[in-house]
Amino acid sequence: MSKLVTIYGGSGFVGRYIARRMAKEGWRVRVAVRRPNEAMHVKPYGVVGQVEPVACNVRDDMSVAQAMQGADAVINCVGVLNETGKNSFDAVQAEAPERIARIAAANGVARMVHISAIGADADSDSEYSRTKALGEAGILRHMPDAVILRPSVIFGAEDQFFNRFAGMTRFGPVLAIVGADTRFQPVHVDDVARAAVKGALGQAEPGVYELGGPEVASFRDLMQRMLDIIHRRRIVVALPFPIARIMAAVLDMAKFVSFQLFPNNILTRDQLKNLRRDNVVAEGANGFAELGIEPKTMQSVLPTYLWKFRPNGQYDEIQASARNMRA
């Protein structure tokens, strides 16, 4: 019988790419998610019955154990950028990874892969970064041979980075950003998936890998590159941090007084703390080179999905070509 992998959060942005690649490797894939009925898009990643979504609450021991039953490897992709309800940073990013690792060790699971983030630091003033580090530490207490991946900002067809800002360009001549000079090292989602699969297959040495693409650029430069691809002219305005701090505080307060009916997916005070720091691979860190992976460039991928934000969508280049012919 083929081997089984349980992927916690396997229907999300990164998880679905990992699920697809594990299915291509011939593994049975169990996608553990809160709402299986909303994860049916993963089923066609393999042959009939090879990829199955199952219900799981990563905050509950029994739920995690049931989803892991019979697994040869586990991969954790669960994380949050913004706290909602009971899904706090501590519950999802610190406690849940350790819970998965503890149960995996108790059940004799051979391998564990965990998706963390560059900037994970137990001493950080950001709850996001602090809990990422606590989750890593919790995993290593129970699964010391785990593979931990720390990607920079991840891009791809379903991303919430380039897609989000490209969508904002439709509403005015100005694109306001915070942390314009902060540097990022964007990494393609499928490259992260390739790294995770290597870890699950035992083709990567245990340890922490920081994953960044071949290019480092400031937030401002990334937005300008995006604007060039979508053929729009916008003024990129850098909001000063003091002003951004006031905005974030107001938005967080709106979330609080509305009892989270307003989720504040715009800018939080915690996100602001992370925007002050570069998000690039640390010097000397293990990364794609040690995994034998050559990461894709942004230029080779971004035009394949950002074209829909062009003034005339898929016809933009055709119309430009026609204008050149008339000229």
| Token pair in block for residue 223 | 């937005």
Is CATH 1.10.3720.10 the classification given to domain 4-154+186-213+280-295? no
pLDDT at residue 134 is higher than 80: yes
Q: What is the mean pLDDT of the chain?
A: 95
Q: By the 8 A CB rule, do 135 and 162 touch?
A: no
Q: Give me the mean pLDDT over the 125-135 stretch.
A: 98
- Percent of the chain clearing pLDDT 70 (strictly above): 96
Report phi then psi at 184, rounded to 5. Answer: -125, 160
Q: Provide the pairing of β-strand 187-188 with 217-218.
A: unpaired
Neighbours of 277 (CB within 10 A): 16
**84-98 CB burial, b ≥16 within 10 A, e <16:** eeebbbebbbbbbbb
Confidence at residue 326, expressed as pLDDT on a 0 to 100 scale: 62
The residue type at 2: S
The candidate with the shortest Cα–Cα distance to 152, out of 58, 288, 9, 291, is 288
Q: What is the DSSP letter of 313?
A: G
Give pLDDT tens digits for 8-38.
999 999 999 999 999 999 999 999 999 999 9
Confidence at residue 201, expressed as pLDDT on a 0 to 100 scale: 98
Confidence at residue 319, expressed as pLDDT on a 0 to 100 scale: 63
Q: What whole-number distance in Å separates Cα of residue 34 and Cα of residue 12?
A: 11
Q: By the 8 A CB rule, do 3 and 22 touch?
A: no
pLDDT at residue 317 is higher than 80: no
Q: What whole-number distance in Å separates Cα of residue 56 and Cα of residue 86?
A: 15
The candidate with the shortest Cα–Cα distance to 101, out of 130, 122, 123, 73, is 73
| 119-133, 253-267, 288-302, 304-318: range with lowest mean pLDDT | 304-318
Q: Provide the pairing of β-strand 217-218 with 183-184.
A: antiparallel
Q: Give me the mean pLDDT over the 36-62 stretch.
A: 97
Give pLDDT tens digits for 141-166.
999 999 999 999 999 999 999 999 99
The candidate with the shortest Cα–Cα distance to 278, out of 210, 228, 226, is 210
Which residue in this structure is represented by tokens 């909303």? 38
Neighbours of 120 (CB within 10 A): 23
Q: Within 13 Å and on the Cβ side, how many CA atoms surround 112?
A: 30
pLDDT at residue 327 is higher than 60: no
Confidence at residue 322, expressed as pLDDT on a 0 to 100 scale: 59
Model pTM above 0.75: yes
Q: Give me the mean pLDDT over the 220-244 stretch.
A: 97
pLDDT at residue 289 is higher than 90: yes
* All structural domains of the chain with their residue ranges: 4-154+186-213+280-295
Q: By the 8 A CB rule, do 79 and 43 touch?
A: no
Q: What whole-number distance in Å separates Cα of residue 113 and Cα of residue 7?
A: 9
Q: Give me the mean pLDDT over the 47-73 stretch.
A: 98
